[in-house]
Amino acid sequence: MSPRPDAPFLVACRNRPADRVPVWFMRQAGRSLPEYRRLRGTGSILDAVRDPDLAAEITLQPVRRYGVDAAILYSDIVVPVAAVGFGVEIAAGVGPVVARPFRHESDLDRLPPLDPEADCPYVAETVRLAVARLADVPLIGFAGAPFTVASYLIEGGPSRDLGRTKALMLGRPDLWARLLDRLADMAVASLRAQVAAGAAAVQLFDSWAGTLSPDLYERCVLPASAKVFAAVAELDVPGIHFGVTTGELLPLLAEAGAGVVGVDWRVPLDEARRRLGPDVAVQGNLDPAVCLAPWPAVEERVRDVLARNGGRPGHVFNLGHGVLPDTDPAVLERVVALVHEEGGR
Ligand code: CP3
């Protein structure tokens, strides 16, 4: 069964008035859920992702538990580069690590074009299984934006300042452009396969774009992400564009071609709206750390986010970044109920 086109999440993504404010949470499938920890065991997430039955089940867990308005595919932004053999692992509690980071022209040879059917058939299979089990709840597919994926390949692991990434960007603009273009093509191939398998919307995660000034973002990053969104437009599904600390970049995230812009909690939603104008839908933006506070404080902050949107169409309620692992699932359950109650018509 495919999701109804009038599902509140899809209607809000199209910037039209929905029956209620839809809500989902980035990283809703994850360590905050006891049922996730039980199913996952201790192996690498990259192994879990290669098991479609398991990955589809994990995708569904937060939908059952929270009653969220959308599911997000259980996968990771580094799955395509790992699938073509670049040599990426995900270290527990750390994130993606690369044994031989991207340094030279010759490293482009380690990034051949992605053929989803041959390189990672398990992703589309997970989408198919999840969509079949979800009935009318839309599934969000996703990819890492070229810049954020490049930052992992170049830094080799987490980095606070992305110094090597920026050095390559500014010192080897030719090589940088080729790298980003390749990663854009990989994201497009991956998103096409996910949508063909049944994903009803896609999100491009440019988590670390906020480390860039607007002029550098516009010159060195936006063209590659715009290429991804141009391909998404042809697929006729809503496209969401998200990054952290992107207050100064919000209009550029929209300019890249996204109909929905994800907003982190540092910019109040009314101000984000002012910067984005009326033609763009917004997603966000409760501070994930607020969910660790006692309920009355959470409730006050949820109401504040809703009030700042002021009933305008095109609001997808979410956190400003991913669910923190220590979050009590009962709190997220109450957040969903409150958003549905307050944001109903
Ligand atoms: O529920 C969901 O959001 C869907 C699944 C999802 C994962 N990663 C699963 C995952 C999604 C959408 C991602 C995207 C992702 N991966 C991003 C963009 C979103 C963001 O958080 O900014 C980034 C930057 C990554 C890279 C990455 N993968 C990091 C930084 C980590 C965290 C390391 C850790 O252990 O804290 C991962 C691992 C990862 N990906 C986990 C999950 C559920 C946690 C480890 C696990 O459960 O095995």
For the stretch 6-28, pLDDT in tens is 999 999 999 999 999 999 999 99
The pLDDT of residue 344 is 78
Does the Cβ of 96 fall within 6 Å of ligand 1? yes
Q: How many CB atoms lie within 10 A of CB 341?
A: 10
The pLDDT of residue 1 is 56
Give the pair of three-digit tokens for residue 46: 């990259």
Catalytic residues: 27, 31, 40, 76, 152
Does the Cβ of 28 fall within 6 Å of ligand 1? yes
Does the Cβ of 77 fall within 6 Å of ligand 1? yes
The pLDDT of residue 119 is 98
Across the beta sheet with 239-242, the strand order is 71-72, 139-144, 201-205, 239-242, 260-262, 281-286, 315-319
Question: Would you give the distance in Å from CA 225 to the centre of its chain?
Answer: 13
Buried b (16+ CB within 10 A) or exposed e, 220-241: bbbebbbbbbebbeebebbbbb
Nearest CA to ligand 1 atom 28: 95
**Cα–Cα distance measured from residue 192 to residue 184, given in angstroms and rounded to the nearest whole number:** 12
Burial class for 171, CB neighbours closer than 10 Å (0-12, 13-18, 19+): exposed
Do 282 and 242 touch, CB atoms closer than 8 A?
A: no
- Extract the residue ranges of the chain whose pLDDT is less than 70: 1-2, 345
The pLDDT of residue 41 is 83
Cα 282 to Cα 314, 316, 333, distances in angstroms = 6, 6, 22
Phi, psi of 319 (to 5 degrees): -85, 165
Do 53 and 86 touch, CB atoms closer than 8 A?
A: no
Nearest CA to ligand 1 atom 26: 95
Nearest CA to ligand 1 atom 38: 95
| Among 140, 228, 244, 222, residue whose Cα is nearest residue 183 | 228
